[in-house]
Amino acid sequence: MKVTKFGGSSLASATQLKKVLDIIKDDPERRFVVVSAPGKRNAEDTKVTDALIRYYKEFTSDKDVTQTQQWIIERYRDITEELGLKETIIQEIAEDIYDLTNLPKKGNPFTYDAFLAAGENNNAKLIAAYFNQNELEARYIHPKEAGLTVTAEPSNARILPSSYDKIEELKDSNEVVVIPGFFGVTQNGDICTFSRGGSDITGSIIAAGVKADLYENFTDVDGIFAAHPGIIKHPHSIPELTYKEMRELAYAGFSVLHDEALVPAYRGKIPLVIKNTNNPEHPGTRIVLEHSNDHVTVVGIAGDSGFVSINTSKYLMNREVGFGRKFLQILEDLNISWEHMPTGIDDLSIILRSRELTPIKEQEILKQLTQKLEVDTAEIEHDLSIIMIVGEKMKSHVGVTATAAKALSENEINIQMISQGSSEVSIMFVVSKDQEEKAIKALYDAFFSNN
Ligand code: ASP
């Protein structure tokens, strides 16, 4: 049995919904369908979720909401009319959109979430009605009925572990179950959403709950590419990735799937596949617990900008007990989260995301490093990028770093730092931001040019 989740672009129009119907009909094992709100039909379009945010803002600041309300309703109407659905369904959706203004305007932290959730909720109703009208018996189920109980953290909910047993009961359903993604219900009955893009999380939770054989996540690309298509023309799609590799790639900017979505499926040991609604024959990318063969060393090359490095040096630093702790204490006191710590004998650098710093915090750090830690030099280097070479099987292969370093040197790219965790899932290079693209191209050529 499979849980199949469709993202917003797969549900943006009647044409897309027809593809969705075919995909579900094509495989009787697809018993659970989790849906996003309608997404963009083209680059200039607005996602229904974003329109709902506008609607909420107008409502809470006492502005006229009519235009936005109508825009949202028309968005659904376009779909229902083109699909030839009964008038009752669009009436029900319109009523639900109007009724949002009956929610408390002030003082309720869940009003915002209830507005946003309406995008997915109405889409799930629409899709279940569409399936039923086309010889596919389906049932819309609200997350409350499904047992998706979450923590009371507005716009950042987490699933309560007790939910899984209740969700398992859905297994007995005879119809295809259609569940709106992105939100659950708190123990007090409030609607509470996950963070943005959170329908992926719902799909993963349902897959873990019903103990599915597979969690299929349908989007608009042929899986996860081995490098960013904005940098490498037509990169190949990775056939198989482990959860750990996926996490590393996501860290360095690959954003096909919501970060938190991996957790329930991983814990439930459910394999996941990312597939393309517009090209369902393509096998996509499977995310598995362990690779099925030993041949793949490097699975992908990712790069991300927006890093800075705090570099310090002090003669005989290696013999000074407590230097590292005191350095980190300075950051902790300023509420700064850091990412990597490459070291030499007498120098230590901390790499962090630039958003963690402000000019005032930077001054304070430099002052404390000089005064409290009495370093010989301290500087903050901006505009850095990290490049990650990812592959769990690197551990049992010799020469990956050598190949990478050779490729970078042949392209005159200066490696500012290298770091590799003991699990050897990835090797990270720090380069200056203006060399990031060139570095990714050089590494892609070095590792994938034969594919
Ligand atoms: N519709 C929500 C968003 O745009 C959730 C999702 O699509 O996953 O963030």
pLDDT in tens, 253-266: 887 788 788 899 99
Residue from 194, 53, 181, 47 nearest 112 by CA: 53
Mean pLDDT of 324-353: 95
Task: Examine the pLDDT at 451 and tell me if it is beyond 60.
Answer: no
pLDDT at residue number 258: 86
Q: Which atom of ligand 1 sits closest to the CA of residue 47?
A: 4
Tokens coding 269: 């040991």
The 10s digit of each residue's pLDDT in 222-242 is 999 999 999 999 999 999 999
Mean pLDDT of 294-304: 89
Mean pLDDT of 260-279: 94
- The verdict on the CB of residue 47 being under 6 Å from ligand 1 is yes
Q: Which atom of ligand 1 sits closest to the CA of residue 199?
A: 8
Instruction: Delineate the domains of the chain, giving CATH numbers in brackets.
Output: 2-220 (3.40.1160.10), 300-448 (3.30.2130.10)
The 10s digit of each residue's pLDDT in 95-122 is 999 999 999 999 999 999 999 999 999 9
pLDDT at residue number 257: 85
Tell me the best of 45, 52, 156, 182 to mutate to test the pocket of ligand 1, counting ligand atoms within 8 Å of each CB and taking the most.
Answer: 182
Tell me the best of 120, 194, 217 to mutate to test the pocket of ligand 1, counting ligand atoms within 8 Å of each CB and taking the most.
Answer: 120
CA of 365 to the centre of ligand 1 (A): 38
pLDDT-based confidence at residue 450 (cuts at 50, 70, 90): low
Q: Which atom of ligand 1 sits closest to the CA of residue 37?
A: 1
- The verdict on the CB of residue 429 being under 6 Å from ligand 1 is no
- The verdict on the CB of residue 119 being under 6 Å from ligand 1 is yes
- The verdict on the CB of residue 235 being under 6 Å from ligand 1 is no
Task: Examine the pLDDT at 330 and tell me if it is beyond 80.
Answer: yes
Task: Examine the pLDDT at 423 and tell me if it is beyond 80.
Answer: no
CA of 182 to the centre of ligand 1 (A): 6
Q: What is the mean pLDDT of the chain?
A: 95
Closest protein CA for atom 6 of ligand 1: 197
- The verdict on the CB of residue 38 being under 6 Å from ligand 1 is no
- The verdict on the CB of residue 276 being under 6 Å from ligand 1 is no
pLDDT at residue number 398: 86
User: What are the residues whose beta carbons fall under 8 Å from the beta carbon of 140, sequence distance 6 or more?
Assistant: 124, 125, 127, 128, 129, 178, 179
Closest protein CA for atom 5 of ligand 1: 197
Q: Which atom of ligand 1 sits closest to the CA of residue 194?
A: 5
The 10s digit of each residue's pLDDT in 363-415 is 999 999 999 999 999 999 999 999 999 999 888 888 899 999 999 999 999 99
pLDDT at residue number 250: 85
Given phi > 0 = left and psi -120 to 50 = alpha, else beta, which region is 135? left
Q: What is the full DSSP assignment across 225-275?
A: BSS-TTTSSSPPBPSEEEHHHHHHHHHTT--SS-GGGHHHHHHTT--EEEE
Q: 407 vs 302, 384, 392, 429, 444, CA distance in Å?
A: 15, 19, 21, 12, 9
CB 272 within 8 A of CB 286: yes
- The verdict on the CB of residue 203 being under 6 Å from ligand 1 is no
DSSP state, residue 374: -
Given phi > 0 = left and psi -120 to 50 = alpha, else beta, which region is 338? beta
**Cα–Cα dist 37/75, whole Å:** 11
The 10s digit of each residue's pLDDT in 4-62 is 999 999 999 999 999 999 999 999 999 999 999 999 999 999 999 999 999 999 999 99
Q: Which atom of ligand 1 sits closest to the CA of residue 200?
A: 8
CA of 37 to the centre of ligand 1 (A): 6
